[in-house]
Structures are given as C-alpha cells and as structure tokens.
C-alpha cells in the first residue's frame, strides 16, 4: 500500500550489472528491509549489520548474498531471483543500487539509505573496477533486457574522471550508466522524503566513528531486540577487519567468482582517502556541484554525516 504523496516510480536505470525494471514483479512483505546505496557507500557493511541483527549469530551459515540478494543485479534471471526471495522464510533484507525514483515504494517496508562522502566513494571505486572478473560480468548480460558492453578503460586522468563523474546528470537519459552510480544523484532521490517514518539515513563516516552505537540505532529502527551479552561479538563481526578476513563469505556474490580477489573487495574502508589524490581544482568542482545541486543540509550531510533533520 502506498500513499498519494509517496515517492513515485518515474525512471528506469540500467548499468553494466543491473536493471531497475527487475523490481517490477517484486511482492513485498510488511517487515521487508531494502538497503539503498550508491555503489561503494557501505552496502555490504549494512547487509552484514542486518544479517547480524536478524540472526544474532556472529558467523553466517552461508554466503551473505544468499541471505541478502541484489535484486537489480543481472547475476541471475529475474524470475529465478524473485523465486529465491519468495522462498526465504527469515526477515528479508534486499540490496539495491537503484535511486528512489526507479524503485517501487511501499509504506510498510523499511528503507535504509546509506550515504558516503562522494569523494571517498569515487576513490573506492577505482580498485573495485580493476578487481572485477570481466568474463563473469559479461556472462551476466545474458540476463539483461538492454544492450551493454564493458567499456574500455578510460584514458582520462583521475582528475578528469572525477570531475565528469561529479557533473553527471541525474536523468538516466542524459547521464547514461553513471546516473545511478553518482552518490549525489542517488542520495538526492531520497532526501526530499527524509521525514517519512520508514526512510532512514545512515552515514558511512558515522559507522566508522562508532560502529556499536550505529548498530544499536539500526536495531531500534528495525525493532530488533539484542541481549547485552550478544552485542560485543556482533559488533566485532561487523568490523571492516572481520569482514575482510571472511571475504569468501561476505563479498558480494563471491561464490560466483565475480572478483579476481575476494578480500580485495574490501580495499581500505577509510574515510578521507581522497585527500592527497584529488587536487584543488577537483575539490572546487566538488563543492560547486554540491552548491548548485544540493541543499546546504544535504551537502553538509554528504561530507560529514550526523543526524538527519
């Protein structure tokens, strides 16, 4: 059930690995959790946190992607992906990289929106792209409704790539494959609905600064009770170091050989990694784009995190 003033599905997004139209026949359950992020903004981290809170065990019995599929992703035919979701009996927590205007909205589903400083997300994407297994990526295109090819590596400098990425249009028709990967575009699609009771914002930097309190906050959002005795082990299992050491079970679809190196999926996990790599002109473009396309409140939150009001 949706409300008249609820978010509306008005766009279709595609990329090398995903299609938003795969949500078309999704049938929600009242306690579903949809984990909403632009790429490299803490998606797997939030999936792991949800898994730990739902099952309340520090070790997963099967790969994280089996519990928490990326429905948009082309790794499976869409009917097979939906059948797997239907068969799940635990509380479902589903990953998406589709902006809100490309998603169906349900007022009895919880949306966890994870954001990150766009500069860090961009820097994290660089080794991520090199770690992908291109043969596995191309095999996924058999499940696609659109035509796509793996793009040739850019010959642009890192600076030029960043400036182009920051300026990409939010309109999929203009922005091409990058419109859904832009952190600014992605978070903007949710921001105007931040006061809705089922849409919640969590920032990567806040997870880094105080993982325990942020996990407790997520537990409260999801109305999950955790005994005092269990918290230390659950928090430890959600640390970057623990996830990296367990990459064969935690990295997205690692069991499908999507990555050259599963542990390489977890690169540095740091905030501020752009410092010293982006130049003054890049930073000026970054701030200009935020000034032109984001409210002061959104611009501040993207850079610093903190409570959303």
Domains in the chain (CATH in brackets) are 20-144+156-304 (3.40.50.300)
pLDDT tens, position by position, 238-297: 999 999 998 888 887 767 767 666 666 776 667 788 888 899 999 999 999 999 999 999
**Higher pLDDT residue, 222 or 15?**
222
Which residue, 250, 254, 232, is CA-closest to 241?
Answer: 250
- Return the active site residues: 97
pLDDT for res 2:
46
Q: Is the pLDDT of residue 137 over 70?
A: no
What are the contacts of 213-221 at 24+ separation with CB within 8 A?
A: 215/49, 215/52, 215/53, 218/46, 218/49, 218/50, 218/53, 218/112, 219/53, 221/110, 221/112
pLDDT for res 1:
44
Over residues 299-306, the mean pLDDT reads 96
pLDDT tens, position by position, 171-217: 888 877 678 789 999 999 999 999 999 999 999 999 999 999 999 99
Q: Is the pLDDT of residue 4 over 60?
A: no
**Residue 113 in 3-state DSSP?**
strand
Q: Which of 25-29, 156-160, 214-218, 256-260 has the lowest mean pLDDT?
A: 256-260
Predicted structure pTM score: 0.92
Over residues 86-104, the mean pLDDT reads 97
Sheet holding 93-96, edge to edge: 93-96, 33-37, 110-115, 199-203
**Higher pLDDT residue, 5 or 82?**
82
Q: What is the CA 283 to chain-centroid distance, rounded? A: 24
Q: Is the pLDDT of residue 148 over 60?
A: yes
Percent of the chain with pLDDT over 90: 68
pLDDT tens, position by position, 64-73: 999 999 999 8
Over residues 76-88, the mean pLDDT reads 94
Q: Is the pLDDT of residue 39 over 60?
A: yes
Of the chain, the end-to-end C-alpha distance in Å amounts to 26
Assess contact for 63 and 254: CB atoms under 8 A: yes
């Amino acid at each position: 059930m949706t409300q008249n003033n609820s978010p509306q599905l008005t766009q279709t997004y595609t990329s090398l690995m995903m299609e938003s139209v795969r949500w078309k026949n999704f049938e929600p359950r009242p306690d579903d959790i949809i984990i909403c992020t632009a790429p490299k903004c803490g998606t797997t981290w939030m999936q792991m946190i949800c898994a730990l809170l739902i099952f309340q065990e520090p070790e997963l019995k099967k790969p994280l992607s089996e519990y928490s599929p990326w429905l948009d992703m082309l790794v499976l035919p869409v009917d097979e992906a939906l059948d797997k979701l239907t068969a799940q009996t635990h509380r479902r927590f589903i990953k998406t990289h589709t902006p809100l205007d490309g998603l169906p909205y349900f007022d009895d589903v919880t949306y966890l929106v994870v954001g990150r400083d766009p500069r860090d997300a961009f820097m994290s994407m660089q080794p991520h792209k090199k770690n992908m297994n291109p043969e596995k990526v191309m095999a996924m295109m058999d499940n696609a409704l659109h035509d796509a090819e793996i793009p040739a590596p850019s010959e642009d400098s890192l600076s030029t790539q960043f400036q182009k990425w920051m300026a990409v249009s939010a309109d999929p028709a203009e922005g091409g494959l990058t419109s859904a990967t832009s952190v600014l575009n992605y978070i903007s699609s949710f921001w105007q609905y931040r006061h809705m009771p089922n849409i919640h914002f969590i920032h990567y930097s806040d997870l880094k600064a105080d993982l325990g309190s942020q996990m407790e906050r997520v537990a409260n959002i999801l109305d999950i009770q955790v005994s005092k005795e269990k918290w230390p082990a659950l928090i430890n299992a959600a640390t970057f170091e623990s996830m990296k050491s367990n990459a064969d079970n935690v990295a997205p679809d690692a069991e499908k050989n999507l990555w050259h190196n599963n542990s390489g999926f977890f690169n540095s996990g740091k905030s501020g990694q752009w410092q010293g790599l982006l130049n003054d002109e890049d930073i000026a473009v970054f701030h200009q784009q935020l000034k032109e396309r984001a409210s002061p409140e959104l611009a501040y939150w993207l850079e610093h995190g903190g409570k959303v009001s």
